[in-house]
């Protein structure tokens, strides 16, 4: 594939949302290039759930099926690379990749996801997406009734503990240091038989990502089968910000109901735009982005 090739649309990110956008655009006869670094955020997750027709299938299998189907449309192409720079031009946009290739497009779609900034607790990153979880709707059924922990504090720890109590009555909130719960919040959780442990965690004991114990700085430990936590994140791709796209107060790319960012000609979809991090939602947003982008291009000719 040559540098300086011009496309109608370049999609940055070729996971579920990017592939869904590409399918809608390919079926609209658009010349599309997907540029993907092949590092989806759920790459350690063994099974995907709560996605109708694919419930219980490994995420990489869903992506492989999607790639194969998208590439049946002859105007869609995929490049394994990373976009590291973007500029606005008179004719549209130009992007540069890590390998030094340059591509031009009339429009851009960023489906580039987010990068989780996990706590520096030994063993946690090895368990992320396997037995350390972020979403009960994606994974809660598989650990229903299990001895479960919430790693969190304050408002998040309080609200998430109540939510997870739907899936198990064997629940402990680990505040990882002094609790910042209010007396009222503490009393409410205790009335719900949710234990609160304020010891500092220094190690997650696990085998192949399956947690067995939380180990504390004081030398004690607590047996556990699953842990939920929410980690801060950053945008995986900084190019939208380079191009002037605004972020909201939580760090997500701001988009409207059509998946348009604050910069004309740039759309975004998937995990980089919303806290609703599910495969099903990513696909829905990608499909919307592709359809609305094609409609904009069609109407722009009249």
What does the pLDDT look like over 100-142, one tens digit per residue? 999 999 999 999 999 999 999 999 999 999 999 999 999 999 9
Residue 89 burial class via C-beta count within 10 angstroms: exposed 0-12, middle 13-18, buried 19 and up: exposed
Token duo for residue 256: 């409207």
In angstroms, the CA 198 to CA 189 distance is 14
Q: What is the CATH number of domain 124-228?
A: 3.50.50.60
Asked if residue 2 has pLDDT above 50, the reply is no
Tell the CATH topology of 5-116+232-299: FAD/NAD(P)-binding domain (3.50.50)
Share of the chain above pLDDT 90, in %: 92
Please report, for the chain, the start and end positions of each structural domain, with discontinuous segments joined by +: 5-116+232-299, 124-228
Decide: 108 and 265 in contact? Cβ < 8 Å.
yes
Instruction: Tell me the pTM.
Output: 0.93
Q: For residue 36, what is the enclosing H or E element?
A: strand 32-36
Tens digit of pLDDT for each residue in 15-31? 999 999 999 999 999 99
Asked if residue 3 has pLDDT above 70, the reply is no
Q: In what order do the strands lie in the sheet with 221-223?
A: 201-207, 210-216, 221-223
In angstroms, the CA 45 to CA 16 distance is 14
Token duo for residue 172: 């402990």
pLDDT of residue 4: 57
Decide: 35 and 128 in contact? Cβ < 8 Å.
no
Could you give the 3-state DSSP secondary structure of residue 148?
A: strand
Q: What are phi and psi of 130, to 5 degrees?
A: -110, -65
Could you give the 3-state DSSP secondary structure of residue 135?
A: coil
Residue 286 burial class via C-beta count within 10 angstroms: exposed 0-12, middle 13-18, buried 19 and up: buried
Decide: 96 and 86 in contact? Cβ < 8 Å.
yes
In angstroms, the CA 103 to CA 93 distance is 8
Mean pLDDT (the chain) is 95
Measured CA distances, 159 to 162, 200, 229 (Å): 5, 21, 12
Look-up of token digits 């999607």: 66
Token duo for residue 119: 């706590």
In angstroms, the CA 26 to CA 20 distance is 10
């Amino acid at each position: 594939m040559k540098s300086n090739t011009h496309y109608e649309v370049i999609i940055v990110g070729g996971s579920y949302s990017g592939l869904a956008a590409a399918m809608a655009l390919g079926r609209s006869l658009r010349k599309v290039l997907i540029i993907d670094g092949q590092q989806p955020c759920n790459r350690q997750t063994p099974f995907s759930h709560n996605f109708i027709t694919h419930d219980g299938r490994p995420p990489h299998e869903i992506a492989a099926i999607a790639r194969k189907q998208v590439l049946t449309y002859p105007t869609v192409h995929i490049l394994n690379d990373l976009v590291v720079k973007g500029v606005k031009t008179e004719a549209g946009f130009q992007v540069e990749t890590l390998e030094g290739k340059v591509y031009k497009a009339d429009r851009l779609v960023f489906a580039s996801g987010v990068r989780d900034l996990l706590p520096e607790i030994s063993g946690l990153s090895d368990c992320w997406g396997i037995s350390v979880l972020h979403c009960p709707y994606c994974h809660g059924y598989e650990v229903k009734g299990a001895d479960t922990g919430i790693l969190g504090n304050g408002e998040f720890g309080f609200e998430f503990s109540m939510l997870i109590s739907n899936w198990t009555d064997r629940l402990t909130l680990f505040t990882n240091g002094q609790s910042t719960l209010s007396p009222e919040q503490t009393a409410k959780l205790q009335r719900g038989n949710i234990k609160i442990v304020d010891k500092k965690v220094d190690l997650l004991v696990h085998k192949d990502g399956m947690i067995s114990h939380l180990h504390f700085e004081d030398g004690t430990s607590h047996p556990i089968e699953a842990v939920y936590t929410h980690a801060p994140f950053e945008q995986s791709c900084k190019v939208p910000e380079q191009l002037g796209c605004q972020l909201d107060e939580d760090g997500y790319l701001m988009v409207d109901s059509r998946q348009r960012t604050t910069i004309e000609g740039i759309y975004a979809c998937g995990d980089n735009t919303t806290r609703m991090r599910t495969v099903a939602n990513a696909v829905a947003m990608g499909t919307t982005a592709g359809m609305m982008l094609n409609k904009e291009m069609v109407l722009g000719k009249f």
